[in-house]
Structure 1
Amino acid sequence: MSFVIAVGSTNPAKTTAVKAICERAYPGCTVVPIDVPSGVPEQPIGPNQTSTGARNRARAALAAVEGARMGMGLEGGVDPDGSLINCVAVVEAGGRENLTWGVRFPLPPTVVARVLAGEELGPVMDHITGRTESKKKLGAVGILTNGLFTRAEMWQGPLACALMPFLHPDLYPAPAAPPLPSAT
């Protein structure tokens, strides 16, 4: 059986990034995209919601795909300061977890105002640019850089860094075993 990696998303911008990095890190691996809940609002606001969403997606993907050895969660959010933020969580079947952050960049003030008022970033970017499904293609980063840096490319750096403890377990201490429940 091949090395199976479950990714908690079916969004092509995310799955393309996972496949690009994981096929290099684990030649012959099988990447299985699966739609799982993030457990946070559709548009996460702030680092706490964004990292929680990434962890929840990674754990849910790992649990949902039989035989998966790793689960990955990629979550984009907006910080209240007006920056786009993005987080990657990787969870191994043995319990090891790692979390990394990607690029952070300022969004246009009109976009920030709408997102902080409750709208989701992707549809806001579509509305102001006349595009459709931009979050599955260029993403805000690709639109705002005129295609110099796409959403799929944006995910690759933090994903590669999230794999560091898994690629070099000798350099990163194994996680402590969780405490046993008390017998009360």
Structure 2
Amino acid sequence: MSTRVNVGSKNPVKIRATENVLGRILGSVHVRGVEVDSGVPDQPVGMELTIRGAVNRAKNAFMDCDLSVGIESGLHRAPETITGFIDLQWCAIYDGSRITIGVSAGFEYPPSVIRDVLAGREVGEVMDELTGVDELGKKRGAVSFLSHGLLDRTGNTEQCVLMAMIPRMNPSLYGID
């Protein structure tokens, strides 16, 4: 039987990344995106706020499924960086009782992007203007543009989904069996 998974977003990158990772781990999965409220600003800044958004998405998407997934990207203060901020994607996976959390590799946006975001704009909007690609975040993502195609947003998002699955893949090590 197929594991039913809801992703707390209609973003095709988040859905595809979840399907790719959970398909490899669980075998047969049926993944669908559901629009939910993250309960945080559209552009979260800070680890706690970003994780809260991922957890809220996962919990709010838990309906008629076995697992729900919440993925939230946010800017995090990072000393010794050019801009003072790193972008990280957090994933929360919920089974109706337990949350597990994972994070992706982080990267730094150009200073002009950070300036605009701190002035109240969303990263996606600013990056769309910078690249000339409409809805870049629902396609290859800023990380693909900035890494010259060496890593796309799906791959970056897969990282946080996989990291959130580690305790579930090793339940006896985490005392959750």
Q: Same fold (TM over 0.5)?
A: yes
From 85, 104, 107, give the equivalent of 1:105.
Answer: 107
Paired residue secondary structure (1:30): strand
The percent of aligned pairs where both chains have the same amino acid is 36
Residue 156 of structure 2 corresponds to which residue in structure 1? Answer: 154
Q: In the alignment, is the contact (CA less than 8 A) between 1:61 and 1:72 conserved in 2?
A: yes
Larger radius of gyration: 1
Answering whether residue 44 of structure 2 is matched by residue 44 of structure 1, we say yes
Paired residue secondary structure (2:172): coil
Residue 178 of structure 1 corresponds to which residue in structure 2? Answer: none
Kindly report the root-mean-square deviation, in angstroms, between the aligned alpha carbons of the 2 structures. Answer: 1.4
Distance 2:22 2:102 in 1: 16
Q: In the alignment, is the contact (CA less than 8 A) between 2:102 and 2:165 conserved in 1?
A: no
Distance 2:151 2:141 in 1: 9
Paired residue secondary structure (2:13): helix
Distance 2:112 2:91 in 1: 27
- Following superposition, the deviation at residue 2 of structure 1 comes to 2.7
Distance 1:171 1:85 in 2: 26
The number of equivalent residue pairs is: 171
Q: In the alignment, is the contact (CA less than 8 A) between 1:96 and 1:174 conserved in 2?
A: no
Q: In the alignment, is the contact (CA less than 8 A) between 2:116 and 2:126 conserved in 1?
A: yes
Answering whether residue 165 of structure 2 is matched by residue 163 of structure 1, we say yes
Residue 75 of structure 1 corresponds to which residue in structure 2? Answer: 72
Q: Which consecutive unaligned segments of at least 5 residues does structure 2 have?
A: 78-83
Q: In the alignment, is the contact (CA less than 8 A) between 1:5 and 1:31 conserved in 2?
A: yes
Answering whether residue 91 of structure 2 is matched by residue 88 of structure 1, we say yes
- Following superposition, the deviation at residue 10 of structure 1 comes to 1.0
Distance 1:18 1:119 in 2: 28
Q: Give the AA of the match of 2:91.
A: V
- Following superposition, the deviation at residue 50 of structure 1 comes to 0.6
